[in-house]
Structure 1
Amino acid sequence: MSGRKPKVHEEEHENHERWAVSYADMMTVLVGLFIVMYAMSQVDQTKFEALAGSLAAGFGNASPTVLTGASGIMKDAGAVPASIKPAGETNPIAPAAELTEDAQNLVDARAELARLEAMRDQIEANLVAAGVGQQVSYGIDSRGLIVGLIANDFFFETGSAVLKPAAQTVLNATGPAISSIPDEISVEGHADAIPISGRYPTNWELSADRATQVLRHLVEVDGIAGSRISAVSFGDARPLTSTDGSDSLAINRRVDLVIRSPLAEPVRALLPIVIAANEG
């Protein structure tokens, strides 16, 4: 027994490569995450169009056809009219609800233009019947209908805000055409660039007084509701022409009746486009 050698326990070697297992697990998880994210980023166009169609039908648009030459939304997926495709847009699909809204805005703008033109024609007919048909100018922009009263000594004396009898005739012929409508009216006073002297310190006060006198006549004589009319002065800050001469100065001395359209701004913004299309 004394000659037997004692057992020697060898020390276990430490595994210095265990980190590789954890690293491999982490890389596997990251790869899986990227795969999931990539899969989520891919839109199934067919399913998207089917969803858009069902939503449009639910909101009352039974046939939301938005594709050129297509009889339904599921035909020729991905094609849209060039006029509604934004520049640089890579996704060829536009939501059906957005297209429907744009089309409705265009329809509303055309109807509003027809209404404003009818109002203009009625005012012009009243003025012609009163013998003052050549004393007013007309315009339509994104604000609405503009009836321009050019102050070339026909409406006011130079440097005065007192309405002349001829001006009262024009307002009395205009009032009945706009007294029954719900639109708000802005009376805008303008002046030429010649410095004023006398009663008014500047052209601001002169044009403000002229606009106020027109407003008072429309309210007190012609029955326009005071709750929907206002007066504003622009002095000589917004001339119609910058050329010299008596005629140019007379054009800039004016009072504008702006009959404001009650429609939403996206619809009103289309009015100049519709006008240009009609004239073209």
Structure 2
Amino acid sequence: MSKKTRHEPHEEHADESWLLPYADLLTLLLALFIVMYAMSATDNKKFEEMSKAFNTALSTGNGVLNFSSALPSDNNLDKGKKDSEENVVNNADKQKQKSQLAKQEQEDLEKLKKQLDQYIGNNGLTTLLNTKLNQSQLTITISDNALFPSGSAVVKQESRQLAGAISNMLQQFPTYNVVVSGHTDNMPISNSEYASNWDLSSDRALHFMKILLQNAKLDPVKFTSTAYGEFHPIASNATDAGRAKNRRVEVSIIRKYTDEAQQTSDQTK
């Protein structure tokens, strides 16, 4: 009788399919730790670039082995850092240059104001002219009595010398823009020549500007005339003295380098 061979039961093999996603997970974690380590050893710019590259690799489905190709090279990082440093240096140079020009401008306008004040004092014009320097401009305020007959825009013959003196001082600073503005009080104009205070203030500013520009050394491109009528008073129109102050011509030398916040404050006063 043949002897039957006894077969041992086969052991069932365990399901190892879970190893694949587990390995992928470990690989991704390894890549994450590598990136986090790199983050701790680099500057903010490099971190941003590496973060973008990491996001790109994950969102596009690139494998971890391909991830290194998405990272910026050391050369690109160095170039970006160099460009950033150059921009900082250039901005600092521009700011320094602007500060120097603003300082020179302040000196120019202070010099011009001093000359004007000296002329006003020497000629006994303190009641008719004054100057004011603020963060936006140097303003020469001239009473209408110093320049015009009542209700007229024709500059008095004896006042042309004043216009000539002002123009001679302005020619020392030819790069500045100059605005000549006319102002009146609020009393309605009543003559055959002018229908309103707008018209009178406009003509007064224009005529005085034309006399200034008789100086051939002044550039007409830099000059503008404007009219404000009665609408920019500097005193109350309720009194004769106040109305007399409001009837004026202003010659404003405009700054090129200004503190914008202070300029806004000056203009609202």
**TM-score category, normalised to shorter length:** 0.5 to 0.7
Equivalent in 134, 141, 152 of residue 148 of structure 1: 141
What residue number does 1:207 align with?
201
Cα shift readout 1:168-208 (whole Å, capped 9, x = no counterpart)? 23213322222343133221222333444544444333222
**Radius of gyration: which is bigger?**
2
Which one-letter code corresponds to 2:170 in the other structure?
Answer: I
2:152 paired with 1:160: yes
2:244 paired with 1:250: yes
2:260 paired with 1:259: no
CA–CA separation in structure 1 for the residues paired with 2:160 and 2:111: 23
Which one-letter code corresponds to 2:142 in the other structure?
Answer: L
Deviation at 1:105, TM superposition (A): 5.0
TM-score (normalised: structure 2): 0.63
CA–CA separation in structure 1 for the residues paired with 2:221 and 2:95: 32
Instruction: Give the gaps of 5 or more residues in structure 2.
Output: 46-80, 264-269
Cα shift readout 1:244-271 (whole Å, capped 9, x = no counterpart)? 322222222221111234x5x2xx439x
What residue number does 2:28 align with?
26
Q: Are 2:188 and 2:196, in contact at CA under 8 Å, matched by a contact in 1?
A: yes
Assess, with a 3 A threshold, how the Cα gap between structure 1 residues 178 and 29 changes in structure 2: closer, same or farther: same
2:39 paired with 1:37: yes
2:245 paired with 1:226: no
2:15 paired with 1:14: yes
Assess, with a 3 A threshold, how the Cα gap between structure 1 residues 160 and 2 changes in structure 2: closer, same or farther: farther
Assess, with a 3 A threshold, how the Cα gap between structure 1 residues 185 and 35 changes in structure 2: closer, same or farther: same
Assess, with a 3 A threshold, how the Cα gap between structure 1 residues 100 and 10 changes in structure 2: closer, same or farther: same
Q: Are 2:113 and 2:133, in contact at CA under 8 Å, matched by a contact in 1?
A: no
Which one-letter code corresponds to 1:39 in the other structure?
Answer: A
Identity across the alignment (%): 21
Deviation at 1:30, TM superposition (A): 1.8
Assess, with a 3 A threshold, how the Cα gap between structure 1 residues 225 and 101 changes in structure 2: closer, same or farther: closer
Cα shift readout 1:198-241 (whole Å, capped 9, x = no counterpart)? 44444333222111011111123676332332212233333223
What residue number does 2:113 align with?
120
Which one-letter code corresponds to 2:183 in the other structure?
Answer: H
CA–CA separation in structure 2 for the residues paired with 1:11 and 1:197: 118
CA–CA separation in structure 1 for the residues paired with 2:241 and 2:216: 30
Instruction: Give the gaps of 5 or more residues in structure 1.
Output: 44-50, 57-94, 274-280
Question: Which has the higher mean CA deviation after the structures are superposed, 116-125 or 23-32?
Answer: 116-125
Q: Are 2:108 and 2:173, in contact at CA under 8 Å, matched by a contact in 1?
A: no
Q: Are 2:209 and 2:225, in contact at CA under 8 Å, matched by a contact in 1?
A: yes
CA–CA separation in structure 2 for the residues paired with 1:34 and 1:201: 79
Which one-letter code corresponds to 1:20 in the other structure?
Answer: Y
Assess, with a 3 A threshold, how the Cα gap between structure 1 residues 178 and 42 changes in structure 2: closer, same or farther: closer
Q: Are 1:127 and 1:174, in contact at CA under 8 Å, matched by a contact in 2?
A: no
Count of aligned positions:
220
Question: Which has the higher mean CA deviation after the structures are superposed, 231-240 or 208-217?
Answer: 231-240
Which structure has more helix as a fraction of its residues?
2
Q: Specify the SS of the correspondent of 2:181.
A: strand
Q: Specify the SS of the correspondent of 1:181.
A: coil
Q: Specify the SS of the correspondent of 2:106.
A: helix
TM-score (normalised: structure 1): 0.61
